[in-house]
Structure 1
Amino acid sequence: MAGTRTQADEARETAVETALARLDLDAKTRLLAGQDMWTLPALPEIGLASLVMSDGPIGVRGVRWTADDPSVALPSPTALAATWDPELAHRAGVLLAQEARRKGVHVLLAPTVNLHRSPLGGRHFEAYSEDPLLTGLIGAAYVEGVQSGGVGTTVKHFVANDAETERFTVNNKVSERALRELYLAPFETIVAKARPWGIMTAYNAVNGTTMTEHHHLVNEVLRGEWGFDGANVSDWMAARSTTGAVEGGLDIAMPGPGTVYGPALAAAVRSGQVEEARVDEAVRRVLRLAARVGALKGAEPVVAEPPAEVDGQALAREIARRSFVLVRNEGALPLPPGGSVALIGAAARDARVLGGGSAIVFPARTVSPLDGLTAALPEGSLTYAVGADPNTELAVADKGFALRAVCRDAAGQIIGTCSAPNGQIQWMGSDLPEGVTHDTLRSVELTGTFTPRESGPHTLGIKGRGHFVLTVAGTTHYAGNRGGGRSEPFAAFFGGPEPHAVVELTAGEPVEVSLTHTVSIPADAPVKGVGFTLVHQEPRRDPDELIAEAVVAARAADTAVVVVATTELVESEGFDRTDLTLPGRQDDLVRAVAAVNPRTVVVVNSGSPVEMPWRDEVAAVLLTWFPGQEGGAALADVLTGAEEPGGRLPTTWGSLADAPVTRVAPTDGELPYTEGVFIGYRAWEREGRAPAHPFGHGLGYTTWAYDSLELDGTTAKVRVRNTGDRPGREVVQLYAAPTEPDAERPARELAGFATVTAKPGETVEAVIDIPRRVFEIWDEKTGSWSFVKGSYEIQAGRSIMDRRLTGTINV
């Protein structure tokens, strides 16, 4: 299914077999275990370089958590999926390959193709969609783009890692049919279309077996049925059993050096618990990956010459504006030329451009909405008011802080220093400043200055575990131990902050700040890591006063643009959400502004759905996701009308009370997927509930007529006409609906899509092939796909609820 081997593939296989034959058991098992946080060991005796991996998916951080080597930050995966444009996803992949090669990275740990099963999933910003077809096609194009640059991918997290609660231990109970039709489907599409060089298996268990040991899903389905020939790497610290992992098809146990492979695997072979042939199979796949990326001497890499260089800044801006979804517009956008604009919201000044957790990268620049609109609008036409701050708790120390990290040994001597991009230290494995080792490191001091932009009482605090000393302006405000709390391995990075100092400061006057952490790493820690954060909160003004100031600014302007947002404490890796409300007083702010300005535009800066109880009270609502480093510039492009908002919803937006699937928390370690194949729009339709904004919805700055639908077998030709007065882009969507109702099948499902562009008055044709799988269901009795013959309505339109044309086919 994944394609036949070419002559070049065969030549690489020969090189792989030659290298494998020269390795003894200890070398082979060592190769399957990470030597540190991000790399595999080099084996000079066979000409094998050290394979380097790095987190994605919106950038390439590299092996160090530092801003010294900045990364391009593209919009979030939900934004990329909102473009409904695989070609654009391919271009994003090419750029990321370029970034990876620049940083010496061979394998990008991306893309995430888990589904939006419930809107409460805390990491949904890092996945694409609630629909497996859209997810699979965007993901396949992304993988093809990255690998066209000679860099490997690891499609993740295989499989059913659709929530964060108890993610390390949860047993997700999923029917075979739901697995096949929903959760496995994007992986199957990507294997078939893109031949990925890697897959990452998830932390969770599926139907009683942890995914790093899942022989059926890995060996029988992924490799056997689909023909996947790449390497299978564990999610970090997911591998738990030496024999279970190797028998379950896991090739690489990350990170190292303390893993279930290496010496433990060699011992298992020598004791007869594991056949050496199993080890050889895994080593063969790792060597194949090395050969493909050019890390194995004597093997020609798949890509000898990388693609032409891509302008990362320009592409980030293009993807952002193409992803923005205009869900409501009562004539407020584009902004009228020459009019005055009141920009409101703390998120307009301090934009959130990416999600929290392992997806974080450090771009060389970030354009906020305030930056973008200041540059785009005539001087004197823009005013700004804070209005409301979504950060109701302490956040990572950032704006106004100039920090560096100082490392000391047990005697207090400095053994290394480095810059700090912000108040967060996250050093995993060997990711330490030059000259520093875990054996010599005893303390890390984050030290530098803080220049406040507002006068008043500033709150500083700590996130992390262990002993800390916090000093501000020469006064020690905290010295003690912080511990307890969450037990998961990354709690120090994703846990909650605590305030420890309230200091009266004056705007523009710098003060010295120091946070010292005594490093104590348990001897049995699977990974040696140093992680803690200096957190900060600006003076808390009376929320009613801030809203009142915003109302004054809005009343005086022709248009009010209110930017609302989530925060890292709402959407991040490591935890799920408990509700879909915007943090702080942002809902109150929107209502107050809308009450005095009929031309109120709300910009929603979130990676996944939030409730918008005021949506019918405002003139326009624009969803910008986490828009990447150029988000503010792209926003100015769209608001002023220089560019059209091109996005369509890749997932349903509605209230939590109406959402059909909301359970993400296990009971006694188990989470049953009782909804079966009914998630997303499938579930909304089955329950007869109307969401706030349906799957596929999105407006532009022109209008479209759907003139005709022609069906030739399973190929649809849809003719659409631009009936507006400016050029535009349309996403033509096809839905297939069985004409004979079946309670066990969705009423309709996405069958294909295509993007077209047209000038005013121009007619264009979208040609869409409907895949066979649309007409198949998984038969649990026979354990195979069943082609359901009969009559199907093929519906063409602008969303799941706005279907303009209908035709019928018999299959």
Structure 2
Amino acid sequence: MKQTASTFTGLTDMTVPNDIAKLVAQLSLEEKASLLSGKNFWETMDIPRLGISSLFLADGPHGIRKQQAAADHLGLNVSVPATCFPTAATIANSWDVKLVEQMGKYLGVEARSLGVNVLLGPGINIKRNPLCGRNFEYYSEDPYLTGKLAAALVRGIQSEGVAACVKHYAVNNQETNRMAINAIVDERALREIYLTAFEMVVKEGAVQTLMTAYNRINGVYANEHSYLLRQILREEWGFTGLVVTDWGGSNDRIDGLLASSDLEMPGTNGESDRELVAAVQSGRVAESYLDESVSRLLYLAKNTSRIPENNHEISFDVRAHHEVARHIAEESIVLLKNQGNLLPLQKGQRVAIIGDFARSPRYQGAGSSNVNPTQISTLLGAAQQAGIQLVGFEPGYERYGKRNQSLQKRAINLAKKADVVLLCIGLDEASEAEGLDRPHMRLPDNQIELLGALQSVNPALVVILSCGCAVEMPWIGTVPAVLHAYLSGQAGAEAIVNIITGKVNPSGKLAETYPLRYEEVPSATLFPGKEATAEYRESLFVGYRYFDRFPEKVLFPFGYGLSYTSFSYRDLQISEEGVSFVIQNTGRWDGKEIAQLYVRKKASSLFRPEKELKGFIKVFIKAGEEQRVFIPFDEYTFRVFDVLNKTWSVEEGEYEILVGASSRDIRLRGNWYKKGHMVLSPCDPASLISYYTGDPARVSREEFQYLMEAPLPSDRWDRTRSLSYNDTVAQCQYAKSCFARLVFHIIDFLPPFFRKIGMRNQANLIMMSFYYMPFRGITKMMGGMVNRAMAEGLLVIANGHFFKGIKHIVKEYIKLRKAGYAKYRT
């Protein structure tokens, strides 16, 4: 159903600065439209006659990716050198709000020095499933932890006069078919799990820009979802900033504008501008809608301090920023196992370093967040610098999984000469990437074989993992020590060495649950949605909210991490303001502890998780000393979404207050009665047994449909109809045209072929750029070189009319050239 103009409650109904109001009044309709789509791939349109300059938007959740030459959105082309900080999945393990805000300030400094107005990050989508290919860019499976850390990063970035852009709003939890998939999610899960972090970033971080997701939510594209954008984001949360599409993420430009999406990126060489002008001239859209969006854009420009690139007075201290990146990594790396106190290394121990990652580190993911670092530390170099007594180094395995007995044999011989072996393993660069999801949770077989062989000749084995996600560890029983470095940035190797030598006491704790096997994950059988829909049948039961019902399914719980010291907890006190308790360092090392506050409703008319994180604190305590700490209650502590009344409410009753070192290691318990309201379920609990008392991983389609209170759309593509503008290239497999089916089979054949011959990046590129690309995306990502009319010609070919389609494309191409729209606007 088309949306119509209505009263707007955003920036233009607030006090608009006089200078902005005057600028808007001087703009023609065509100029207003031009400001609302990109000038090129990274810049907005400028209007020199009124002194309106372009805004520069750059990727960069964990570093600035400003490209020097040819533009792309997948991280393929070289960008200007910048500090590569640890990724979001890594810094989430620090649980340190102040540290993350500090990182944001350093990102802001670098962005400002490079002339960037808007830094496209942080990404705060929830880790619904461990196989999401972009999990390394996201913080956690928990919305509270995600929201607190992301808000801190935003505050840091924006303190330097650069706007942060939180993404991807919303329910973007898979990469497979991400530009067309329809995420089916119930109202409580939407509000309590998938939107809460965005709410916190808006309210606590005062984020200035927000990026919409590619996908649909319950049938409506995120970028034209009036309920999400106008009703929740702007009216309920009070967001007055700029909403920008993901690159190529605009489906219907007019519906997007009506829903309150302001800026379309990248530019389409005027095609979208003409759509907007025509919509106003026809009366479909009131010009005030353009005024609102333009006002927000100009307000953003006014509040960001873009520095010209030729102004060399503005710069950043490369070495100092590298040291900050190292410190952040030290606070975020997680010690998972340390049997017999194998770590830290003892002085004089002979150490063998094995693993290709020791000389060529895995320190970031692939795709649009790929940063060109100012320098790179290696574990081998850092170990030598630290004075570790090395007996040698061997790569041990081939990086991309190929078996090599010669490499393995040399590594085994080296291990026999050492007192301790440091084995560096993990996932390669092509395994964690934007645009595609991982096929499994396992490490490469050649690495596991090497691990087993080394353990048989030298049991003093320290595994150092490098990957941005949870992995299965069926081998962990044979290994005494495991250190998970995640993707710890350009200085990560130095941080690892400082931890294994004891210079730094590890303090990171997991921001996600590690299942024993992938099959234990509640969304395992439904992830990813491969065709029409992705059904979120597990509802609220994501991560520890599910696993805390089933202790036997977990390898490492949410919030888990070891230290070289130990801590005890006592004397819990609960008040209306929050909780306080005493933590004592009972070991011999100074160290930091992350204490976590969980809340459980004792009896409820609603289905609820066993407990939910509602606060945390990271505190430094010297050996033998103790400290009383306080964790406050806030507006999120006791609330639940009341579906019947469409509002947040506090369910009255008794709550159990839990304080612990992880979700499974609860040290202190207390009860607290909270006044509130009776909150009723709109559904009969007897019809939702899986959610109330059963296994949310076994929800039937019928039970989920009852929860949704609406018929579920088919999860399969409709193979009987003709292909349309929003269908993907992958759907050409059932196209009427033999030519289109042939093209599909070629594209389908190439990725596994390229992987087999070692060209993994090229294989991934095909999947990202072609396989799941909708026909509309071809027009949106080509900068106007292919317009909608030409894409329609492609559809004519796919639907069985080859020559008619070719004729249409040639005709439209000639028209495009004559009109002068074959290149980006200048």
TM-score, structure 2 as length reference: 0.76
Distance in structure 2 (CA, Å) of the matches to 1:306 and 1:787: 49
Deviations 1:237-286 (A, max 9, x none): 01021221111211000001346632221122112221101111111111
Over 3 Å counting, the alpha-carbon distance change for 1:667 and 1:103 in structure 2 is closer
User: 1:192: which partner in 2?
Assistant: 203
User: 1:631: which partner in 2?
Assistant: 492
User: 1:280: which partner in 2?
Assistant: 291
Letter in 2 for 1:649: L
Q: Which moved more, 1:590-599 or 1:233-242?
A: 590-599
Deviations 1:517-551 (A, max 9, x none): xxxxxxxxxxxxxxxxxxxxxxx7x6233223222
User: 2:537: which partner in 1?
Assistant: 674
Over 3 Å counting, the alpha-carbon distance change for 1:667 and 1:257 in structure 2 is closer
Deviations 1:640-698 (A, max 9, x none): 01011221000011220222222322254111111111100011123454311110000
User: 2:521: which partner in 1?
Assistant: 659
Distance in structure 1 (CA, Å) of the matches to 2:316 and 2:209: 21
Distance in structure 2 (CA, Å) of the matches to 1:226 and 1:666: 30
User: 1:348: which partner in 2?
Assistant: 358
| Secondary structure of the corresponding residue to residue 80 of structure 1 | helix
Distance in structure 2 (CA, Å) of the matches to 1:64 and 1:307: 18
1:117 shift after superposition:
0.2
Structure 2 residue corresponding to 1:236, chosen from 236, 240, 247: 247
Matching of residues 243-254 of structure 1 within 5 Å: 243-254=254-265
1:801 shift after superposition:
0.5
Distance in structure 2 (CA, Å) of the matches to 1:209 and 1:389: 45
- 1:151 matched to 2:165? The reply is no
| Secondary structure of the corresponding residue to residue 716 of structure 1 | strand
- 1:808 matched to 2:671? The reply is yes
Structure 1 residue corresponding to 2:29, chosen from 16, 25, 36: 25
Structure 1 residue corresponding to 2:332, chosen from 320, 323, 326: 323
Distance in structure 2 (CA, Å) of the matches to 1:283 and 1:162: 31
- 1:53 matched to 2:48? The reply is no
User: 2:704: which partner in 1?
Assistant: none
Deviations 1:344-399 (A, max 9, x none): 11111111110000010111211121121121124x5341111123313xxxxxxx
User: 2:381: which partner in 1?
Assistant: 371
User: 2:615: which partner in 1?
Assistant: 752
Structure 2 residue corresponding to 1:772, chosen from 626, 632, 635: 635
Unpaired segments of 5 or more residues in structure 1?
298-304, 393-539
Distance in structure 1 (CA, Å) of the matches to 2:358 and 2:456: 20
Letter in 1 for 2:375: R
Distance in structure 1 (CA, Å) of the matches to 2:227 and 2:14: 28
Over 3 Å counting, the alpha-carbon distance change for 1:667 and 1:581 in structure 2 is closer
The answer (yes or no) to whether the contact 1:148–1:307 under 8 Å persists in 2 is no
What's the C-alpha RMSD, in Å, of the aligned pairs?
Answer: 2.3
Over 3 Å counting, the alpha-carbon distance change for 1:349 and 1:294 in structure 2 is closer
Over 3 Å counting, the alpha-carbon distance change for 1:98 and 1:12 in structure 2 is farther
The answer (yes or no) to whether the contact 2:67–2:79 under 8 Å persists in 1 is no
Identity in percent = 36
Over 3 Å counting, the alpha-carbon distance change for 1:595 and 1:158 in structure 2 is same
Over 3 Å counting, the alpha-carbon distance change for 1:307 and 1:791 in structure 2 is farther
1:754 shift after superposition:
0.3
Distance in structure 2 (CA, Å) of the matches to 1:688 and 1:599: 29
Deviations 1:736-759 (A, max 9, x none): 112226671001010100010011
Distance in structure 2 (CA, Å) of the matches to 1:711 and 1:567: 47
Structure 2 residue corresponding to 1:573, chosen from 434, 437, 452: 434
1:45 shift after superposition:
2.8
User: 2:140: which partner in 1?
Assistant: 129
TM-score, structure 1 as length reference: 0.77
Aligned length: 650
- 1:290 matched to 2:301? The reply is yes
Matching of residues 301-312 of structure 1 within 5 Å: 311-312=320-321
Letter in 2 for 1:50: S
Over 3 Å counting, the alpha-carbon distance change for 1:607 and 1:68 in structure 2 is closer
Distance in structure 2 (CA, Å) of the matches to 1:67 and 1:244: 35
| Secondary structure of the corresponding residue to residue 316 of structure 1 | helix
User: 1:226: which partner in 2?
Assistant: 237
Letter in 2 for 1:32: L
Structure 2 residue corresponding to 1:265, chosen from 249, 268, 276: 276
User: 2:461: which partner in 1?
Assistant: 600
Over 3 Å counting, the alpha-carbon distance change for 1:606 and 1:68 in structure 2 is closer
User: 1:163: which partner in 2?
Assistant: 174
- 1:583 matched to 2:454? The reply is no
Deviations 1:455-506 (A, max 9, x none): xxxxxxxxxxxxxxxxxxxxxxxxxxxxxxxxxxxxxxxxxxxxxxxxxxxx
User: 1:422: which partner in 2?
Assistant: none
1:338 shift after superposition:
1.1
The answer (yes or no) to whether the contact 2:379–2:497 under 8 Å persists in 1 is yes
| Secondary structure of the corresponding residue to residue 556 of structure 2 | coil
Deviations 1:69-100 (A, max 9, x none): 31100011011111001111101110111111
User: 2:394: which partner in 1?
Assistant: 385
The answer (yes or no) to whether the contact 2:642–2:648 under 8 Å persists in 1 is yes
| Secondary structure of the corresponding residue to residue 326 of structure 1 | strand
- 1:89 matched to 2:100? The reply is yes
- 1:16 matched to 2:20? The reply is yes
| Secondary structure of the corresponding residue to residue 773 of structure 1 | coil
The answer (yes or no) to whether the contact 1:222–1:228 under 8 Å persists in 2 is yes
- 1:216 matched to 2:77? The reply is no
Distance in structure 2 (CA, Å) of the matches to 1:543 and 1:137: 45
User: 1:508: which partner in 2?
Assistant: none
User: 1:619: which partner in 2?
Assistant: 480
| Secondary structure of the corresponding residue to residue 38 of structure 2 | coil
Distance in structure 1 (CA, Å) of the matches to 2:605 and 2:131: 29
Structure 2 residue corresponding to 1:114, chosen from 99, 103, 125: 125
Distance in structure 1 (CA, Å) of the matches to 2:561 and 2:639: 29
The answer (yes or no) to whether the contact 2:600–2:655 under 8 Å persists in 1 is yes
Distance in structure 2 (CA, Å) of the matches to 1:167 and 1:779: 30
Over 3 Å counting, the alpha-carbon distance change for 1:560 and 1:145 in structure 2 is same
The answer (yes or no) to whether the contact 1:54–1:62 under 8 Å persists in 2 is yes
| Secondary structure of the corresponding residue to residue 686 of structure 1 | coil
- 1:99 matched to 2:110? The reply is yes
User: 1:410: which partner in 2?
Assistant: none
Letter in 2 for 1:61: R
User: 2:766: which partner in 1?
Assistant: none
1:67 shift after superposition:
5.1
The answer (yes or no) to whether the contact 1:80–1:323 under 8 Å persists in 2 is yes
Matching of residues 699-778 of structure 1 within 5 Å: 699-740=562-603, 744-778=607-641
* Greater relative contact order structure (CA < 8 Å, 6+ sep): 1
Letter in 2 for 1:324: I
Deviations 1:25-46 (A, max 9, x none): 1111100010100001112233
Distance in structure 2 (CA, Å) of the matches to 1:19 and 1:47: 9
